[in-house]
Structure 1
Amino acid sequence: MTKRIFRATLTVALTVLLASLILIVGVLHGYFQDRVLDELSSRTSYIALGIEHEGIDYLENGFPNDCRVTWVAADGAVLWDNREDPAGMQNHADRPEVHEALLLGRGHAARYSDTLSQKTLYYALRLSDGSVLRVSDTQYSVWILVLQALQPVALVMVLAFCLALWLAGRLARQLVEPINAVDLNDPGEEIGYEELAPLVGKLRSQKRQINRQMEDLRRSREEFAAITENMSEGLIIIDRETRVLSHNAAALRLLDAQAPTEEDSVLALNREPGFRRCVEEALAGHRREELLEREDTCCRVLANPVEQDGAVTGAVLIVLDVTEKERREALRREFTANVSHELKTPLTSILGTAEILENGLVKPEDIPHFAGNIHREAQRLIGLVNDIIKLSRLDEGDAAAQWETVDLRATAEEVLRQLAPAAEKQQVTMTLEGGPTPVRGVPQIVEEIIYNLCDNAIAYNRPGGSVGVTLSSTPEGERVTVSDTGIGIPQELRERVFERFYRVDKSHSGGGTGLGLSIVKHGAAYLGARVELDSEPGKGSAFTLTFPPHSETWQDNK
């Protein structure tokens, strides 16, 4: 703006200066022309007076040659001229100034010479004898006058130009300074020009409106960030060029990616083909869903296009952690397959034995043996079904029992009593150490846990081995440890022993269902207890169940 004001002011100053110069030159030219005519008139009258008294002798006796004098007879013939020979001159009766003098007594004219760029002024006066005296002189044109005064005029123009530059610059700064002094962020009440009052008022109004909008936008962004950052699902918003417009921490965590910059493509976050297909399909206007599987995680990506005025302007990607769901689904399929297999074995044995009996292929003395097989397989089948029901209830958190104080010693004594025949059959010695140990829990579940631990210790023991149940109190809570001198569990299999239907050594299972340690794991989780395993192959294993303190268990189940 300062430059525009400076240029405008300088242009006006120079225009006025040039116009003034042209006007002055024009006025001076007209003034000089009038002065020359006056001088010619005076001189003509003076010479005419001399001719009236002395005649032609006046003209021939040293008449000055600074101007041209011509004496013309009444018929136009040239009688005398101080510049040329009268004999060779044309008749002057048709000359305007001479013709006018013959008619009116005096006359004047001006003629311009393009060759010499000068103008000649003529003044004629009629004498008493009817002749005409004409006096002429040269007047230079305007441009000749300007050229003659070029040096002083140029000096004046340069000085005037410099002065105009300085004045224009100073004026521009003075005009713009009050405008620049206005604080657009906080315009005050006092302003340099009253003409700026409407503008400043509008600025104040717009500033208040912008502040409100910025505050609303900030609040909305904070709310959006708070919502998205606390989402367990990943959220990514991209534009038409796949640039990431917004994302939350969950998306980076689930995709195992680094935070992108403003110009990064969303495809840089994950380079798996399924993720790329989701992005491409969404930007093409179609919904897409893909499953991304890695070693330890499994994510489902849902991509939806974002449309505006019928055109796709971007996409929204939702990343869901379905690791647990997929694991549960895999466990469900495995469990179903295992249950089918485990149920099929006793049922096949029962069916085969029943068919033999039905067809009369068994001798009367062998009937008790075959009936015993049916009885054992039926018991095994019922035990398997019961264990499955127990696991299902524990999985669903529905034990259908009241919490109460349970004495671990009394429970352990009852379990050892129940397993005494099995231990005697396996030639395993069982011992119990520790006094009364009360805990908060569900009696049936506590008994089931200790029973399965002791049953496994007997089943996987060696002849002449031992099983020890030890009760103790620690700052962490009450403990029950079941140890054996059996085959032990290798390090790489310790995590798998708690899986359903998994057996370390099927030859030592004794016809078990393979669900015992799964019931222990789920029952402990239901009671809030912790199960620890310490084992050495060939020397035995020790399972430690630590119950939380009474106060914690009570508060958790209150």
Structure 2
Amino acid sequence: MTAKLFRTSMAVAVSVMVLSIALFMGMLYQYFSDQMMTELESETWLVSHGVELDGMDYLNGLHTTSRVTWVAADGTVLYDNEADASTMENHADREEIREALTSETGTAQRFSSTLSEQTLYVTQRLSDGTVIRLASAQKTVGLLLISMIQPILIILVLSLLLSAVLASRLSKGLIKPILSLDLEHPEDCETYDELTPLLSRLKRQNDTIQQQMNLLKQRQTEFAALTDNMSEGFLLLDRQGHVLSHNSGALRLLGVEEPEGEVNVLVLNREEPFRQAVDEALSGKRSQQMLHLNGRYCKLLANPVLADGKPAGAVLVLLDVTEQEQRDELRREFTANVSHELKTPLTSISGIAEIMQSGMVKPEDIQSFAGDIYQEAQRLIALVEDIIRLSRLDEGAESLEREPVNLLSIAQDVARRLDSAAQKAGVTLKVMGLSVEVRGIPSVLDEMVYNLCDNAIKYNHPGGTVNVTVAPTDDGSAEVTVEDTGIGIPVEDQSRVFERFYRVDKSHSKEIGGTGLGLSIVKHGASLHGAQIHMDSQVGRGTSVQLLFPHHE
């Protein structure tokens, strides 16, 4: 804008300068013309009076720079001080001669393109009817301008320099208040009155923009709060696959750092299922893939974003389905284990029944075979009961009512029920500690303590001991510890003994019985009550399992 103002100012200055010079030259030329005409009229009057007095003698003795011509009344040239009068043509048709003959005096101006001069003529009629004419050549405006070219150029150059300086200062001075405008706070600006409507409009626009920005920030904050707290991840892509938006969940599931700048989504993951889903979504097709990311299972849902029926981008949603996959895997494994555990006793019962049906059993052996059938049937019943208990715990036991339960009473009741089994195994079972209450489900707590004590007796040595300790902790919690002097659990198996149907020594477990679900019931019961399980075991020296219940208000 400064340059434009400068050019405009210079153009105005040059135009004014050229017009001024033209006007000055015109006025100067007109002044000289009038001056010359006045002088020529005076000189003509003097010469005409001289001729009136002395005639031709006066003309012969006359010295002047003007051209003097004496013309008869019929137009014949009688005398000319610059040419031979006898050779000159008749002047009767000359404008100034005709005017003098009719009006006593006359004037005329004629331009010579050959000489680029203009000649001024003044005539005076004498008393005898003849006419005296004086002529003087005057330079044209062009010649006058050429003759004054040097001073005009000097004046022009100086004027241009002065105009440039003034135009520069003027343009900068005009633009400075505009450049100093505070567009963020136009109402506080002091500038030209003509800019007041513009500043008022800017103020309204700023207010509108600020409101829109505040609304946008609020929505962006709400959107960020919503998406960042999602366990799911999402990615918004443009048509070329560049990431336009994402949440922290997507980066966490993909196991990547925050990308810097605009990146292609394939930079975040280059696995074939991921690439296939992205390609299909960007081509306008929905896609669903299962990804294995950093030891977790993620379901990828890729949907195209359409604009006027054409793909304009894609939305990727990542769902962490690890727990679902693990549950499905656990369910499949549980089904297989249950099938196997049920099949074993049923096969034994079916085999024994088949032998008895064929009549191959001696009468004295029927009681022994019936005892085997009874034992296998009891094993089936115990297995089914444990499966029912686990199913109830898997469902969260929501239908079971919670109430204050005395853990010491639970432990003492369990010890009475297992007393015969302990005596049979040659194991001493003791309960000690203080009375402590927790809020829980009595039947589930009973099963937890029972299974821990039952395992401690089964996997013990003859003459061994099982100590059950119930005590409050310093922070108001409660703990139940079942400690035995049995065979112990190897370190590599300790993390798995709470899995369903997992047995450290399958052959030994078969000998002592059990369903392989006891510790799994303990784990689920602890989870249901918010309790923690701690195990400490050494092979050949025994095992200690501690249940730590949260503080009960």
Give your verdict on TM over 0.5. Answer: yes
1:5-16 paired onto structure 2 within 5 Å = 5-16=5-16
Instruction: Kindly provide the amino acid, as one letter, of the partner of residue 427 in structure 2.
Output: T
Q: Please point out which of 513, 517, 527 is paired with 1:525.
A: 527
CA deviation after TM superposition for structure 1 residue 43, in Å = 2.0
Is 1:34 matched up with 2:59? no
Quote the residue 2:458 is aligned against.
459
Q: CA deviation digits over 1:342-378, x for unaligned, max 9?
A: 1122222222322333333433333223222221211
Q: CA deviation digits over 1:478-524, x for unaligned, max 9?
A: 44333344443222221111110111110110332111110111122
Distance 2:260 2:474 in 1: 51
Quote the residue 1:43 is aligned against.
43
Quote the residue 1:516 is aligned against.
518
Quote the residue 1:143 is aligned against.
142
**Of 253-262 and 184-193, the range deviating more from structure 2:** 184-193
Answer whether contact 1:274 1:292 (CA < 8 A) is retained: yes
Answer whether contact 2:253 2:293 (CA < 8 A) is retained: no
Answer whether contact 1:282 1:303 (CA < 8 A) is retained: yes
Quote the residue 2:21 is aligned against.
21
Instruction: Kindly provide the amino acid, as one letter, of the partner of residue 466 in structure 1.
Output: G
Task: Please give the root-mean-square deviation of Cα atoms over the aligned residues, in Å.
Answer: 3.1
1:29-428 paired onto structure 2 within 5 Å = 29-61=29-61, 63-74=62-73, 76-98=75-97, 101=100, 105-173=104-172, 175-180=174-179, 182-188=181-187, 192-398=191-397, 400=400, 402-408=402-408, 411-419=410-418, 422-423=421-422, 426=425, 428=426
CA deviation after TM superposition for structure 1 residue 208, in Å = 2.8
CA deviation after TM superposition for structure 1 residue 138, in Å = 1.4
Q: Unaligned 5+ residue runs, structure 1? A: none
CA deviation after TM superposition for structure 1 residue 386, in Å = 0.4
Q: Unaligned 5+ residue runs, structure 2? A: none
Task: Report the 3-state secondary structure (helix = DSSP H, G, I; strand = E; otherwise coil) of the residue aligned with 1:496.
Answer: coil
Quote the residue 1:534 is aligned against.
536
Q: CA deviation digits over 1:10-62, x for unaligned, max 9?
A: 4333322322221221222223223222322322232232223323222222x
Distance 1:43 1:381 in 2: 159
Distance 1:305 1:494 in 2: 49
Scaled by the length of structure 1, what TM-score is found? Answer: 0.87
Task: Report the 3-state secondary structure (helix = DSSP H, G, I; strand = E; otherwise coil) of the residue aligned with 1:535.
Answer: strand
Answer whether contact 1:407 1:437 (CA < 8 A) is retained: yes
Distance 1:314 1:353 in 2: 69
Scaled by the length of structure 2, what TM-score is found? Answer: 0.88
Tell me: CA distance 1:74–1:210, structure 2 relative to 1, closer, same or farther (3 Å): same
Distance 1:312 1:405 in 2: 63
Distance 1:179 1:235 in 2: 48
Quote the residue 2:430 is aligned against.
432
Distance 1:540 1:317 in 2: 53
Task: Report the 3-state secondary structure (helix = DSSP H, G, I; strand = E; otherwise coil) of the residue aligned with 2:536.
Answer: strand
Distance 1:106 1:160 in 2: 46
- After superposing on structure 2, the runs of 4+ consecutive aligned residues of structure 1 that deviate more than 6 Å are none
Task: Report the 3-state secondary structure (helix = DSSP H, G, I; strand = E; otherwise coil) of the residue aligned with 1:188.
Answer: helix
Distance 1:465 1:122 in 2: 163
Distance 1:41 1:193 in 2: 61
Distance 1:189 1:511 in 2: 92
Distance 1:376 1:247 in 2: 62
Distance 2:210 2:529 in 1: 57
Q: CA deviation digits over 1:299-356, x for unaligned, max 9?
A: 2222333344444443333222222121111111111111111112222222232233
Q: Please point out which of 522, 546, 549 is paired with 1:547.
A: 549
Task: Report the 3-state secondary structure (helix = DSSP H, G, I; strand = E; otherwise coil) of the residue aligned with 2:406.
Answer: strand
Distance 1:191 1:420 in 2: 100
Answer whether contact 2:104 2:125 (CA < 8 A) is retained: yes
Tell me: CA distance 1:465–1:75, structure 2 relative to 1, closer, same or farther (3 Å): farther
Q: How many residues align?
A: 547
Answer whether contact 1:282 1:305 (CA < 8 A) is retained: yes
**Of 346-355 and 149-158, the range deviating more from structure 2:** 149-158
1:452-491 paired onto structure 2 within 5 Å = 452-462=451-461, 464=462, 466-471=464-469, 473=471, 474-475=473-474, 477-491=477-491
Distance 1:490 1:115 in 2: 133
Identity %: 51
Distance 1:334 1:424 in 2: 36
